[in-house]
Structure 1
Amino acid sequence: MTTNADIEKTIGRDGVKSFSSPDRSMAEDLPVASGEDKGDESESGAYAPPSEKGETKPPDDKLSESKSDDDDDDDPPPPDGGLVAWLQLVAALLTNTISWGTPTAFGVFQLYYVQTLKLPQWKVSWIGSVQFLLTYGMCVVSGRLSDAGYIRSTFAVGAFLVVFGTFVTSLGYEYWHFFLSQGVTVGLGLGIMFMPPLQVLSSYFDKKRTFVMTGAATGTGIGSLILPAIIQYSIPKVGFPWAVRIFGFVALFCTVTAFLCIRPRLKPRRSGPLVEWSSFKERPYLLYSIGVFLLYLALFFGSFYINTFARDIIGFSTTNSIQLLLIQNGVSIPARPVVGYIANYHTGPMNTYIVTVILFAIITLSWIAVHNATGLYIYAVFLGLTNGVCQGMFLGSLASLTSDSRKMGTRIGMVHTIVAFATLAGPPIAGAIIDSSGGRFTYAQLYAGLAIFVASGFFIAARYAKTGPHLKVKV
């Protein structure tokens, strides 16, 4: 019977923990490290054995970089707890509430603009798609700035743009007003302010990293529940302009509080490129990036169009259709930290992510079978659970592929930039399919479900490239 001690001693070639029995001959050859000589072990179990001089061997992708003064001194190990560390979780959660709650809540704005401006679905969806594009696309810049040490200043610039753009949106009355203020200005701000708290949070935790990053992603569910509710239920009472301003004051409170909590821990990494192209030579990272692109082509299909489907196909009122969006976003809030805990301590982030994406594909395709109000309410619950967990596990699974915390911002930012183009194209493609089908959703639902299924295949391939044909591996 394999014991916990055996499991902890069994470390694969790629640095993943195996549930199989260890090879004694290999275990005896493994150098024993302690104190200053101990190798690095990431959340995924990545281990860098010490060199003959007792120094930690750098990751392979670091060999291609020129050595700088920033690399001379090792950073202290993550504390994995303490007041300051948990305050970083608060900062990241509040940032996620605005950074991802805002674009995820665009379904409410989509319905309002279509009804008020009398524009086709695909045209209005460009506002939300551009906002998503910039939110994800700016992550590669803000991620590199975060790694370089410009954490608080980068966050402050992004937060200002978000609040400013939101208040300017409240003054708009034509399509291009909303496109520039909400799509462009707010989108830029969301992307700029997102990466700094995430980079700081990941540097404070090692063994609990997947759990805390999934917990921070709970802010997305909170924001996508609270923010659309503010718009939907404030418009009848105070009108659209003041509803958006209330939205802006919530964003102001969250960003100021997050800014006060942020405390950078790592030494800045001034040297290094904006984009580390060598990362794509690693097959797990490359396959993961392709899979995420396909996933995010369809990830927000339900968020953008479930209320339109409810109103136009099932016959919901506008208010009841928004309730579906709130249900979808609300059920994901408790699901994210629970699944994050399971992934962190039991199954591994990548294993959990693969299962979740497959379930999400099945749920998306099952939308085709929904033909009445009861079925749509039930569907909204399952869609919210699977969609929310997919978003929540995204950062944890990606972090498991990065053992160097000082490169976390850059590598996560690179994948976010790839995802940016998927979120730009995804909703307009779905809207165009719906419009060309005479308002029917069947072909758009097929497109979304199949895209997610193909994405899951790439995630399985990424896991295989990381671990080989070993099922009982925590990664």
Structure 2
Amino acid sequence: MSSQDASDCEKDVIEDQFVAERRLGDHALTKKITHPELHRATSTLSRIASRISTREDIDPGPPPDGGLRAWTQVAIGFTACFCTWGFINASLPHLPTISFGVFQTYYTSALGEPQSTISWVGSVQLWVVFFMSAFSGRALDAGLLIPTFAVGCTIQLFGIFMTSLCKVFWQLVLAQGICTGLGAGIFFTPTMGLVTTYFKKRRGLAVAIVSSGNSVGGAVYPTIVRQLLPKIGFAWTIRVVGFVNLVLLGLCLAFLRPRLPPRKAGPLVEWKPFTEAPYVCVLVGMSFVFGGLFFSYYYLASFGRDILHMSYSDSLTLLIIFNGAGVPVRLATGYIADRFLGPLNAVVPLLFINALFALCWIAVKSQAGMYVFATFYGFSAGAFQCLMPTVVTSLNNDLQRNGIRMGMAFSLFSFAGLAGPPIGGALLTTNGGGRGGYLVAQLCLGILTAVGASLMCAARVYKAGWSLKVKC
């Protein structure tokens, strides 16, 4: 090899080493500069993607059955029930809003419409609240609780304030019947379903506390109306109620905390539960019971005024007693059902007792007797009502389907709430009207409740057999 060739070969080797070192340097520099940022960004995106893809599969563990967050949701459920059913129970006897029991009497005299016509306002309100449950219950399962609650509260408050402007019957139907019912139906069922996801062993007690908002609201709202209506008039009385709901529901929205991951997939209505005998018996049985029960809410005060000649103020006191009496009994019933019996075992005898008290209404002949009846009937009515969400939940083994199953049940109950009060109002005109008409309605109330209790008994037998030792 010549010296020139050797020199050229040496140059080529040096050049190759230079290129190699440059490439290694560039790679090291690139790695040094960009690798950490790129790595962090990639890791973050991977974690987000992983969470999004697996969020529905995350196991939240068993219900905590207590703790600050769980009991906070119970307080929220109580407040939502207060603003929903307390308001509905109070708007019947007067004009347009607050517990129909308090407003129906007022509507009848102010608008000149018969009771059977006015009762359609409350019936439509009840029907819409229950019927919307199928849709709002599914929203809970899908992880949309907070926006659903916000929308429902807005619609209900709008309906309340519009009610204060109503002057004729059709306006009441739109504002109080449809709008407030729609809003309440959107936020009530998801909130009730939320509470059941936080509890298992103490579920009956938790739901009893929530449902006692019904009784407390049914006592508080009529008191507000009775005190304010003569002083500031109907319109501003309704607005005061609206502002009360605005504050309470705003607090609820601030502290809502869902526990279960969303279940995005799934139909709006699941047909499989309708093939389960216990579930079907519960739905049909409670439809009979609710069909008669709301007659009591609507016409208890009217009976005291029209038949026993009680004053308007005293007739409203009956509603306050009827609703308030249920508070301690609801709590005791929830505790006993959790600790000793189970919800189905507890609800069956309570329904038969309620049917007996409904028939005892026939024997009431004096104002003193009416106060006693309202107290004991309030006990029995409050006791079984607090168990209904727990009973429906006890028939379901998948908490992620609590919302839709409870919603479907409430939606079917809606038709009983729609038909019951107007049919009861029509029955008051039979048998010569007056006490004779009430006799027919009271008999139907007792019979319907007994039939419903029998079907609930059948549900218990289908689920656990005839043995009384089985807790269910």
Gaps of 5+ in 1: 1-67
The alignment status of 1:454 with 2:459, answered yes or no, reads no
By how many angstroms is 1:249 displaced? Answer: 1.0
Secondary structure, counterpart of 1:315 in structure 2: coil
**Given the alignment, which residue of 67, 75, 90 partners 1:82?**
67
CA positional deviation for 1:389: 1.4
- Partner residue of 2:295 out of 301, 305, 319: 301
Q: Could you give the per-residue CA deviations for residues 402-425 of structure 1, whole angstroms, max 9, x where no partner exists?
A: 121110010000000000000000
1:128 corresponding residue in structure 2: 122
Does the 8 Å CA contact 1:90/1:261 hold for their aligned counterparts? no
Residue type of the partner of 1:279? P
Of the structure 1 ranges 202-211 and 359-368, higher mean CA displacement relative to structure 2 is found in: 202-211
Q: Which of residues 162, 166, 169 in structure 2 aligns to 1:168?
A: 162
Contact 1:70 1:270 in 2 (8 A): no
Correspondence for 2:153: 159
What letter is aligned with 1:249? F
Within 5 Å, which residues of 2 pair with 1:254-333?
254-333=248-327
Shift of 1:265: 1.2
- Aligned partner letter, 1:246: V
Q: Secondary structure at the match of 2:307?
A: helix
Contact 1:70 / 1:269 at 8 angstroms: preserved in 2? Answer: no
Paired with 2:341 and 2:465, the residues of 1 have a C-alpha distance of: 17
Letter aligned with residue 92 of structure 1 = G
The aligned amino acid for 1:430 is G
Residues 83-109 of structure 1, C-alpha deviation per residue, up to 9 Å, x if partnerless?
Answer: 111110011000000111122221111
CA distance in 2, matches of 1:360, 1:318: 26
Which runs of structure 2 are paired with 1:231-250 in the superposition (5 Å)? 231-250=225-244
Whether the 8 Å contact between 2:89 and 2:297 is mirrored in structure 1 is yes
Give SS of 1:307's match.
Answer: helix
Question: How many Å apart are 1:300 and its aligned residue?
Answer: 1.4
| TM-score normalised by length of structure 2 | 0.85
Matches of residues 22-421 of structure 1 in structure 2 within 5 Å?
72-105=57-90, 106-421=100-415
Aligned to 1:471: 468
Distance in 2 (alpha carbons) for counterparts of 1:337 and 1:260: 26
Would the aligned equivalents of 1:335 and 1:385 in 2 still touch at CA under 8 Å? yes
Give the AA of the match of 1:470.
S
SS in 2 for 1:276: coil
Deviation at 1:279, TM superposition (A): 0.5
Q: Counterpart of 1:104 in structure 2: which amino acid?
A: N
Q: Distance in 2 between matches of 1:222 and 1:246?
A: 18
How far did 1:341 drift?
0.4
Question: What do the CA deviations read for 1:366-421 (whole angstroms, capped 9, x no partner)?
Answer: 10001111111100001111111121111112211112111001000000000000
Contact in 2 for aligned 1:152/1:196 (Cα 8 Å): no
Alpha-carbon distance in structure 1 between the residues aligned to 2:372 and 2:407: 35
Return 5+ residue gaps in structure 2 as ranges. Answer: 1-52, 91-99
Alpha-carbon deviations, 1:83-141, whole Å to 9, x = none?
Answer: 11111001100000011112222111100000111111110000000000001100110
Question: 2:27 — aligned with what?
Answer: none
Number of matched residues?
408
Q: 1:182, 1:194 → 2: CA distance?
A: 16
Answering whether residue 436 of structure 2 is matched by residue 442 of structure 1, we say no
Instruction: Name the CA distance, whole Å, in 2 between partners of 1:338 and 1:363.
Output: 19
Q: Percent identity?
A: 41
CA offsets per residue over residues 30-51 of structure 1, 9 Å max, x none? xxxxxxxxxxxxxxxxxxxxxx
Cα offset for 1:464? 0.3
CA distance in 2, matches of 1:104, 1:243: 16
Match of 1:65 in 2: none
Deviations 1:41-96 (A, max 9, x none): xxxxxxxxxxxxxxxxxxxxxxxxxxx96664433221111111111001100000
Looking at structure 2, the residues matched to 402 and 382 of structure 1 have their Cα atoms a distance apart, in angstroms, of 32
Higher Rg of the two aligned structures: 2
Kindly state the Cα deviation for residue 247 of structure 1 after the two structures are TM-superposed.
Answer: 0.8
Contact residue 123 and residue 428 of structure 1 kept, 8 A: yes
Give the Cα separation in 2 of the matches to 1:204 and 1:138.
Answer: 23
Per-residue deviation, 1:196: 2.3
The reply on whether 1:427 has 2:424 as its aligned counterpart is no
Q: Is the 8 A contact 1:200 1:262 kept in 2?
A: no
- SS where residue 107 of structure 1 aligns? helix
Contact 1:166-1:182 at 8 Å conserved across structures: yes
Would the aligned equivalents of 1:147 and 1:199 in 2 still touch at CA under 8 Å? Answer: no
Greater Cα shift, 460-469 or 98-107:
98-107
| Letter of the structure 1 residue corresponding to residue 89 of structure 2 | T
Equivalent-residue separation in structure 2 for 1:470 and 1:196 (angstroms): 34
**Deviation (angstroms), 1:229:** 1.6
1:232 deviation in Å? Answer: 2.0
CA deviation after TM superposition for structure 1 residue 302, in Å: 1.3
**More displaced 10-residue stretch of structure 1: 156-165 or 97-106:** 97-106
Aligned counterpart, 1:31: none
Distance, in Å, in 1 between the alignment partners of 2:388 and 2:198 is: 19
Mapped to 2, the partners of 1:291 and 1:242 lie a distance apart of 40
Partners of 1:253 and 1:346 lie apart in 2 by: 38
Q: Distance in 2 between matches of 1:285 and 1:197?
A: 21
Give the 3-state SS of the residue equivalent to 1:265 in structure 2.
coil
Consecutive aligned runs of 4 or more in structure 1 exceeding 4 Å deviation: 68-71
In 1, Cα distance between equivalents of 2:76 and 2:56: 28
8 A contact 2:56–2:261 mirrored in 1? no
Q: Which amino acid aligns with 1:434?
A: L
Are the structure 2 counterparts of residues 372 and 242 from structure 1 closer, same or farther at C-alpha, using a change threshold of 3 Å? same
1:211 to partner: Cα distance? 1.1
